[in-house]
Amino acid sequence: MLKILNIVGARPNFMKIAPIVREMRRREAEFRPLIVHTGQHYDEAMSDSFFRDLGIPAPDFYLEVGSHSHAVQTARIMMAFEPVVLAEKPDWVVVVGDVNSTIACALVCAKLGVKVAHVEAGLRSRDRTMPEEINRILTDAISDLLLTSSQDADENLRQEGIAPDKIKFVGNVMIDSLFYNLEQSKSSKARENLDLRDKDYAVLTLHRPSNVDEEKTFTGLLDALVSIAEKLPVIFPVHPRTRANIEKFGFAERVANSNIRLIEPLGYLDFMNLYSSAKMVLTDSGGLQEETTALGIPCLTLRENTERPITIELGTNQLVGTNAEKIKQAAFAILENSSKKDTKIPPLWDGHAAERICDALVS
């Protein structure tokens, strides 16, 4: 039996680890899964909500590192995680995604000679100003098993000199969570509480520092969003940093006088209920590019690059950057049904990635 430490730190990790832990618990003769929550995402209520929605067992270890600078947070995770590894002596540590918890825990294991499997390995934006890109590159360099969600990720790893026998294409575990919970999300009252009808609204998420911490960039994005909101309501679950900057830059009145509807952040099932029936999604996050592709929902990514090019090549995603005119043009084309293209769900985005991940760990 393999003892596995499964690492979660921030909300995107929860959706990736939930199917893996569920599959490991189902295969109880093969796995003893333990969950380590670093506490990188320190909003206890939201963490509890996501754990409950996703059916994740309570963490076996909670490191409570909280919010700090990248350096301090990464160091604190390493200091708190090392004693857990020494005490538990796991066969594998599974890290997911690209947050500080991912690289911190992988680095501890590399120093201690404990095997690391990286789920969602090989994604590259080619933008090293993004902390996530650094975390991805370094985690992949020191991991023993690289579990990829798309074949372009395999190629990225091969080009970086990773031994082919370390790379395993398993598919997208985020889509496991999506398909597993989609039916349950329909019982959420999120849309009903907002008095929304199917396809009569857009959903917006915006939180990256490059978008919301720079007043000039945020102003241009707001110009586009206000224009789009004249055509249909834009529902905006607001990240705390984004809300603070709306006040700081004096945007509050303009937003209030528009058809952009600010709401509090939502739990996993409530948010799925909201975006799964939207006319389109505008986002600067990573996971939504994948989820909208799997559901066939038009997505406009408000960034200059993406580590998920498969969602553009095969899926419903368009990379529109932060130029107001380009964003409006793409959004209006969707509203006029003039931007339709043949789209496909990428290979192995079938809801069974966790099974292949567990098979890879065993083999």
Whole-number average pLDDT of the chain: 95
Burial 298-313 (b: 16+ CB within 10 A, else e): bbbbbbeebbbbbbbe
CA distances from 5 to 11, 38, 237 (A): 18, 12, 32
Give the model confidence (pLDDT) of 169-185 as tens digits: 999 999 999 999 999 99
Task: Give the lowest-confidence range in 45-54, 57-66, 110-119, 313-322.
Answer: 45-54
Give backbone dihedrals phi and psi of 327, rounded to 5 degrees, phi first.
Answer: -65, -45
Exactly one of 37, 68, 207, 239 is catalytic; which is it? 207
Domains 2-171+349-362 and 183-335 share a fold: yes
Which of 153, 150, 125, 69 has its CA nearest to residue 285?
125
Q: pLDDT band at residue 340, thresholds of 50, 70 and 90?
A: low
In this predicted structure, the answer to whether residue 341 has a pLDDT above a threshold of 80 is no
pLDDT band at 50 (very low <50, low <70, confident <90, very high): confident
- The edge-to-edge listing of strands for the beta sheet with 317-319 is 260-263, 234-237, 202-205, 280-283, 299-301, 317-319
Backbone angles phi and psi of 287, in degrees to 5: -60, -35
- CA dist 251 and 240 (Å) reads 15
Tell me the average pLDDT across 52-76.
Answer: 92
Name the least confident of 47-51, 157-161, 227-231.
47-51
pLDDT confidence band for 67 (50 / 70 / 90)? confident
Contact 281, 202 (CB under 8 A): yes
Find, among 234, 165, 231, the residue nearest to 194 by Cα.
234
Kindly tell me if the per-residue pLDDT of 228 is higher than 70. Answer: yes
**What average pLDDT does this structure show over 242-257?**
96
Q: Are 275 and 190 in contact (CB under 8 A)?
A: no
Element (H, E) at 258: none
- pLDDT score recorded for residue 339: 62
Beta bridge partners of 202: 234, 280
Q: Which residues, other chains included, contact 52 with Cβ-Cβ below 8 Å and sequence gap of 6+?
A: 267
Distance CA 14, CA 136 (A): 17
Respond yes or no: is residue 68 known to be catalytic.
no
The two counts, helices (H) then strands (E), for the chain are 17, 13
Q: What pLDDT shows up at residue 44?
A: 61
Give pLDDT, residue 46: 64
Architecture of domain 2-171+349-362: 3-Layer(aba) Sandwich (3.40)
Per-residue pLDDT, averaged over 152-171, amounts to 98
Distance, in Å, from the CA atom of 297 to the CA atom of 292, rounded to the nearest integer, reads: 5
Residue 12: what pLDDT?
Answer: 87
- How much is the average pLDDT of 290-306? 97
Residue 56 CA to residue 226 CA, distance in Å, equals: 38
pLDDT in tens, 236-248: 999 888 999 999 9
Once rounded to an integer, what is the mean pLDDT over residues 2-11?
95
Query: Sorting pLDDT into bands at 50, 70 and 90, what band is 342?
Result: confident
Q: So where are the chain's domains?
A: 2-171+349-362, 183-335
Closest CA to 361 of 120, 93, 14: 93
Q: What mean pLDDT comes out for the span 63-80? A: 93
Yes or no: is domain 183-335 CATH 3.10.28.10? no
